[in-house]
Amino acid sequence: MNFRVLHHNNCFDGACSAAVFTKFHREVIGGASAYEYCGLAHQPGGAMSQDIFGPGENAIVDFKYSTSPKLTWWFDHHESAFFTPEMRQHFEAGQRSDEGHPGERANRHFFNPHYISCTGLIADIGRDRFGWRPDGLEDLLKWADIIDGARFENAEAAVEMKAPAMKVAMVIENAQTSDFIPRVIPLLTSMPFAEILEQPFVRERVAPLWERHELSKELIRQRANLEDGVVSLEILDRETESLNKFVPYYFYPEATYTIAVTRTKTRTKISVGTSPWTQRPVTGLVNLSEVCERYGGGGHARVGAISFGAEDTEKARAVAAEIVADLREGERQR
């Protein structure tokens, strides 16, 4: 029977997790006739449907927990792994030992939010709990941590993408057909990143994405302006799906914050972020989640966003101008 591996879709760590889990399962557990891959995307609010599971064994990697009895293996490292407190209790009950015997689920379901990447978590559990030797995966594990943890040495590494792993991540993040990532996953544990990029079905996707990246970089260069440690940037005359959040620091490495106003067909969005390379101690940084919450948005301490209707561009501009003024004022008073 096929073994289904469900992974975080369009995510480098999700694909690497599926690859490393497969290698571990094949070498240590065995018994599957073949492995099939299926990407999972975040749905607003609701829990996952039961339809995602196959008739045989199922693993979820780098994605949320499910209480379904069809789930055999689970690995995740996201703080937000549980939709509800009841789901966390279900997981914890499975971890408790049963009359002195470790529960079945305790050896199949693993959660550790201290891991930078889920790929690293799977490799460590495989080694420490099952005696597996994840040989030859050093480069894969290194890049899963760098990319999922945004631990780039500097903005050049993040923006120029000279390392082959960065271009592999780019094609995975931008894959739009469901057959592409399942073809890449088996390659991740069987050949170096540079060789993956040479595969014709991968190579043909790099050039157009690279061109788009260059155009977006140039647009940010034209629009961004730095004043008092804050880069502000507005792209409202065209639709922008996503901006590379590292590019502003590529042009302005000394900036502490970036605030961008962009729009898509369905909404106008303010994105606020802190430079990952700031030398400033955490205590000297503004909590951007709090800033965004004041205007009906949210996020984390270092990055946040506020959404408006597609027509509310003027309102978004006014709010962005207020936030920019506050952040600049704060920077001047330092």
Q: What do you get for the CA distance between the two ends of the chain, in Å?
A: 63
Q: Which residue is nearest to Mn ion (CB)?
A: 13
Q: Which window, 84-92, 140-148, 151-159, 225-233, contacts Mn ion (CB under 5 A)? A: 140-148
CB of 76: closest distance to Mn ion in angstroms?
8
Note the helical H segments in the chain.
12-24, 85-95, 118-130, 138-148, 155-160, 164-173, 180-188, 193-198, 200-223, 247-251, 288-294, 313-332
- What is the CB neighbour count within 10 angstroms for residue 149? 14
Instruction: Give the pair of three-digit tokens for residue 7.
Output: 């992974």
Number of residues that bind Mn ion (CB under 5 A): 4
How large is the angle between the packed helices 164-173 and 180-188, nearest 10 degrees? 150
> 91 vs 308, which CB is nearer to Mn ion?
91
> 61 vs 220, which CB is nearer to Mn ion?
61
> 20 vs 324, which CB is nearer to Mn ion?
20
> 148 vs 234, which CB is nearer to Mn ion?
148
Interface positions, 213-272, toward Mn ion (CB under 5 A):
none
- What is the CB neighbour count within 10 angstroms for residue 100? 5
Query: Facing residues of 227 across strands?
Result: 230
Interface positions, 144-183, toward Mn ion (CB under 5 A):
148
> 101 vs 114, which CB is nearer to Mn ion?
114
Interface positions, 47-76, toward Mn ion (CB under 5 A):
62
- Enter the DSSP assignment of 49: P
Burial class (CB in 10 A: 0-12, 13-18, 19+), 272: buried
CB of 60: closest distance to Mn ion in angstroms?
12
CB of 155: closest distance to Mn ion in angstroms?
22
Closest by CA position to 121, among listed 145, 103, 105, 139: 145
Q: Which window, 9-17, 226-234, 304-312, 317-325, contacts Mn ion (CB under 5 A)? A: 9-17
Alpha-carbon gap, residue 120 to 122, rounded angstroms: 6
Interface positions, 112-131, toward Mn ion (CB under 5 A):
118
> 40 vs 118, which CB is nearer to Mn ion?
118
CB of 139: closest distance to Mn ion in angstroms?
17
| Among the listed residues 5, 12, 13, 272, the single contact to Mn ion using CB under 5 A | 13
Instruction: Give the pair of three-digit tokens for residue 207.
Output: 């050039």
Residues of this chain that bind Mn ion (CB under 5 A): 13, 62, 118, 148
